Amino acid sequence: METRELGKTGERVPIVGMGTWAIGNSSGDQRREEIKALQRGIELGMKFIDTAEIYGHGRSESLVGDAIREYRGEVFLATKVAPENFAYDDVIRSCETSIQRLGVKFVDLYQLHWPNPRIPIQETMRAMEQLVATGKTRYVGVSNFSVEQTMQAQESLPRSEIVSNQVRYSITSRSIETDLIPFCNKERITVIAYSPLDTGNIPISRIPKEMLTKYEMTPAQLMLNWVTFQEPIITIPKAGRLSHVEENARSVDTRISQSDYNALSKKFS
């Protein structure tokens, strides 16, 4: 699996990781499948797992915890604090609760899930710095932040760097191309593209068949290959089904050419 540097950390992460929204709400066979899917993904190199305290009210984190028990040393673990918990004490408590649910000693990346204009970003970031200082998280990230909000967040974080911004991006959802991607590229902030498969609405009929044949890719693989083409971007397709995880893990084995990338970008613009 190809890797990229996370922010300016010197640490490398896989360009295709695993998302876990809507995972962990089930029991029995489905729960076993979701655990197996995540474990298989780790074995195939998708060692970046994204979750959040609000996913299934903690059930996604608990399931991830069960899945990674034997793999903790190999996995880069990212979770998120919900905007209603952005007051100082709440951030600290949320992170500690997530750590407990995940069954780990620390998380690798702690992200602010959405901006919350009702709580001063300085207060939230003071808590994030405290979490870094106490070893509860290694890195700080944001999610769904505009360029301006990312800059404000960075200014409120004097002792650490914002290493990532997790935002929606796919071949059919391109609004971040005008300003956020160039900004993150320049500042060396990793863009974590969420919903890269358009939440499952894969535009199969619009994807050129000759390109799928040329690269021996499925439509989903081509979408993931496209979305991770540019330097600052990694992605986290949902990873709850074994067959999809295996398919997605192979999506960047070969790279599409620059001219095919350009042609696809134009077709969907």
Residues that bind ligand NAP (CB under 6 A): 19-21, 50, 113, 143-144, 166, 194-200, 202, 220, 236-238, 240-241, 244, 247-248
Which residue, 134 or 140, is less far from ligand NAP as judged by CB? 140
Chain mean position to CA 95: 17
Shortest CB 185 distance to ligand NAP, Å: 20
- C-alpha dist (Å) from residue 209 to 104, 173, 186, 254: 45, 21, 35, 17
Query: Which residues are part of the catalytic machinery?
Result: 55
Q: How far is the CB of 133 from ligand NAP (least distance, A)?
A: 25
CB of 124 to ligand NAP, least distance (A): 16
What tokens were used for 69? Answer: 């028990």
The b-or-e profile of 131-160 (16+ CB within 10 A means b, else e) is: bbeeebbbbbbbbbbbbebbebbbebbeeb
- Phi, psi of 192, deg, nearest 5: -100, 105
What minimum distance in Å lies between the beta carbon of 113 and ligand NAP?
6
Residue 225 to residue 203: CA distance in whole angstroms: 15
